[in-house]
Amino acid sequence: MDAVRLRSLVGKRVLFQFDTGSQVVGRLARCLPDLGAVHLVEVEQAALISREGVLLREVPSYPFIPATPVSVAEV
């Protein structure tokens, strides 16, 4: 995932889609570290959705390594 693109989405509502079809939707709170390649992102008010579209869980904060998403889009 492109670090510049990810950082441009901080503060916005985003949808991360994974190769399994599952999704994470929420507000992109931060990308770490602040400079260079992004090693960790944190999504706040995150909804974890199965590939069937079923809401699995809502969590206040969901950090993950952004190496596995297939796509990210502002929603």
Q: Which CATH class is domain 3-74?
A: mainly beta
Q: What is the pLDDT at residue 1?
A: 73
**Torsions phi, psi of 25, nearest 5?**
-120, 135
* pLDDT band at 6; cut points 50, 70, 90: very high
pLDDT of res. 66? 87
pLDDT, residue 70, reads: 81
Report whether pLDDT(18) > 80. Answer: yes
pLDDT grade, residue 68 (50/70/90)? Answer: confident
